Each structure stands twice: as structure tokens, then as C-alpha cells.
Amino acid sequence: MPTNAQEWREETLRVAGTELSVIQGGTGNAVLVLHEELGHPGWLRWHSELARSHTLLIPQHPGFGKSPRVEWISSIRDLAGFYARVLRERNWRPIDVIGFSLGGWIAAEMAACDAAQFRRMVLVAPTGIRPPEGCIMDMFIVAARAYLDASVYSAQDTPEFAKLYGGEQTPEQFEAWEDARAETARLAWQPYMYNPSLGPLLEGVTGLPTLIIWGKQDQIVPVSAAEVYKKAIAGSELVVFDHCGHRPEIEKQAEFVERVQRFLA
């Protein structure tokens, strides 16, 4: 998170019959940010840049971070329904959304159910669709640290890589990772990290401006899945960054921010 506490605040909302921890920062039109399968990676430079013109709302998914598990949520589609209820109760819809990896899958499921929830949608290397070439990396056969290391093309060329999840890997952080992996396993184990019906359901989505961003060298979710998403979502735009892995928001930070800001404007 940022060293300047004025950039963000964290509060617990009572919504959808449970408590939801939400990190907020910025000014301007609201953007819902849905984090990935290891949890919220911390407040990074791209957050600060985008927060100059947008209010970022970053919930910690139920069962992740400070948000308690919700037992009736047993799939990513259930989680998408949960967030649809959150948007209704908070009167946040329609809202712009950015989803990263697992968070991108959640956003896509929400759009497939009711695209009118969103004004514009950004999907950053989302899981959710089975890649036609290659496989989604199995996060459960390696340590969380190894999974994190594999998520960038070049750690030494990614300045903020060492800042992810607070930098120093404390026992508390490892425990948070294991909690996140346990909840991800509960929601997305079988089939692993995709939903066979998502692609066909997305084919009915029209009128939702969508930007899909991927790294060409993504080792977590092969870039072949990007074309499936692009084909499924009518009128969507695909941007692929070369020499980039699963985290274009920090690997190609300037280009990522410029592209997202232009899209959301």
C-alpha cells in the first residue's frame, strides 16, 4: 500500500448479508477493481496514477484478506452474483470495472449475466476461459512464492515487483497467501480456473465497451485465451504487450496506465 495514507483508506461495508473489506482511493468516477487469486497485491504506482482521475474501489473478495468467507458462495459464478448484489445495494451500477486474472473472470461472469452493470470493462489476463493452446498454470503444485515469481517476464526489469504484497514476505503474508489459495481452490478447482459455459454466454454480450490486456509471454494464463475472449465479446479491443508476463500493470506500467486512462475517459 502507499506510504502516503492520504492516498487510500480501508473500510468494512455491511453488504449482501456479510462484511466486505474495501480499499478506496482517488477522486472522480468510480472504478471497481477486482483483484487476482493471491489477493490484493498492495497499492502500486498504477493505482496512484489512475486515482488522480478516478475513485478506485478495491474489495477484498469474501474469504480473502479481511473479508470473511461466505459459505453460500461456492463458485466464481456465485461470486459474480454476490458482487452484482453489492452493486445494487451500494447503488454503484453502472460502474467501470477492471479485473485482474481471477478478478477478470469474475467481471466476465458478471457481464455475461447482466452487461448493464458496467459502463466499461477492462480485463487484464483473465482466467475463466480454457486456452486453446497451452494450459493455465496450476498454482497448487508450486509454492505461492514460485507462482508469484512466474507471474512476470523479468523480475529484475520490473521495478515494483519487490513491492508486491508489502515487499518483505512475513509469516502473516504467507498465511494470507495460503488463505487465498484455499479459497481459490474452493471456488475454481474443478474444472481448474475456467468455466466451459463462459465463452458461449459472453457471445450474447453487446454494447459493453471492453478492453482486454495481456502479456505476450504470460506463463500463468497463455495469451491464446485472449483471442477467445476477444471473439466472444462483440466489439472488444485486445492489446498485447511484448516482453511482458501476467502483470502488465507493473511490467508495462506507463503503457498500461495510458491505455486504460484513454479507454475509461
Grid cell locating 222: 497463455
Which structural domain, as residue segments, surrounds residue 133? 5-264
In the numeric block, the cell 485482474 is attached to 100
In the predicted structure, residue 1 carries a pLDDT above the cut 70 = no
Q: Give the model confidence (pLDDT) of 207-221 as tens digits.
A: 999 999 999 999 999
pLDDT at 4 over 70: no
Check if the beta carbon of residue 58 is closer than 8 Å to that of residue 23: yes
pLDDT digits (tens, 9 = 90+) for 245-255: 999 999 999 99
Categorize the per-residue pLDDT at 2 as very low, low, confident or very high, splitting at 50, 70 and 90: very low
Taking residues 241-264, report their average pLDDT. Answer: 98
Write out pLDDT tens, residues 100-126: 999 999 999 999 999 999 999 999 999
The CA distance from 178 to 167, in Å, is 17
Q: How many domains does the chain have?
A: 1
For strands 118-124 and 95-100, give the pairing. Answer: parallel
Q: Which H helix or E strand runs over 182?
A: helix 171-188
**CA 133 vs CA 180, 188, 226, 238: distances in Å:** 27, 20, 11, 18
Q: Comparing C-alpha atoms, which of 134, 112, 105 is closest to residue 194? A: 105
- Decide: helix, strand or coil at residue 257: helix
- 8-60 per-position pLDDT tens digit: 899 999 999 999 999 999 999 999 999 999 999 999 999 999 999 999 999 99
Domain containing residue 49: CATH number: 3.40.50.1820
For 119-136, what is the HEC assignment?
Answer: EEEEEECCCECCCCCCCC
